Structure 1
Amino acid sequence: MRFDIITVLPGLLESPFAHSILQRAQKKGIAEIVVHNLREYSTQKQRSVDDYPYGGGSGMVMQIAPFAACIEKLKSERDYDEVIFMSPDGKTLNQAMANQLSGLTNVIILCGHYKGIDQRIRDIFVTKEISVGDYVLSGGELPSAIVVDAVVRLIPGVLNDETSALSDSFQDDLLDAPVYTRPADWNGHKVPDILLSGDQAKIEIWRHDEALKRTQDRRPDLLE
């Protein structure tokens, strides 16, 4: 799967993609993440990509021409399944959406900045808008990294344990059950006996019950 991310701050995305699971996925050739500097597509002497909003108001608006030039260049090289814009008024990212995206091949992600992007970019080029929550960030770079991380870990071959992603929270509309590791007794705080029993069938029932209790307590909306 290939991600082409368009941003005015490419340096902001260097670290998230250079470590851990995302780094391994790229080294294995399972995922390709390419970050494009939007300023390279500006025709302005100062390589500016924003201007004052029509109708007045505060803030600057990202112009349509640089985005159009970058998107059209990318589309001339390959077909894309989605052109995603990270926006607080997009559909909220959840596990079901991440599952769906993980089945795609080529995706473009647009990172907004300043006051926002010219609406015509959204009207002409964008096929999906995604939000990572009901709050506003300085730009779309960190949300784009969240989307890539959530999606790439689901691609077969990325995780060492293929079943790990399938048991994550939200995969079955439940939060995950409590997990424990050695030592079995730490200063009197013990691991539940059932997990030490070796009876896998009973352990799975316990985990499901605990997941249900945790979801009921913390996220009852998921059970609706």
Structure 2
Amino acid sequence: MFRPELVERTVDVLASLAGEGRAVEFGIGTGRIALPLAARGVPVAGIELSRAMAGRLRAKPGGEDMAVSIGDFADTRVPGTFSLAYLLFNTVMNLTTQEAQVACFRNAADHLSPGGCFVVEVMVPELRKIPAGQTVVHFAFGPRHWAWSDYDVATQAQVCHYVDVADGRGEHRTTPFRYVWPAELDLMAQLAGLRLRSRWQDWDGRPFTSDSAKHVSVWEKPAA
């Protein structure tokens, strides 16, 4: 996610969508995308749950004056209106209920001016990799690190497990998510008064297909 060419391409697309307007990032973190986007001349504000991450953002060149509202991006507001709101790298799945994900789309729509866009980058659930009767998909292997996802298809709950070994000791941590399908996101957008404008497989704009592992989707708020 930090590869310079990927960051540059992501910023290219977001800057084009923002146009002459302002952008707000849901889950701005330490500024991986916000800082280079602001450097392109797009005024950027953000929402971030972690005060520590927001502090790291503000300690970086260009981040000291960036407006960041501390809170949950499902319902936290940033003053003003924006031509672009965006939520990247699977972060929508950090909202672990459907209710919260729906609220996130409504919050994004409330931030947008007419004609503005909401962009989400998220994986496609890997359920086709799970044999009948099993729940686990491994996605990282190595002598000192491995990781897997445990899926509950009844609730769309996904728990990622990470194991790291250092100095002969192992550390296990877990992170909860709620996986979500493209069609479900389209319905959330519709409930928020947004309509699908584009969907690609990646930031290079390659077509989204049934074999795509993730998607970048753009919904727009109809012009008044």
Shared fold (TM-score, shorter chain, > 0.5): no
Structure (1 or 2) with the larger CA radius of gyration: 1
Taking structure 2 as the reference length, the TM-score comes to 0.24
Question: Which structure's residues are more often strand, by fraction?
Answer: 2
Greater fraction helix: 1
Q: TM-score, normalised by structure 1?
A: 0.24
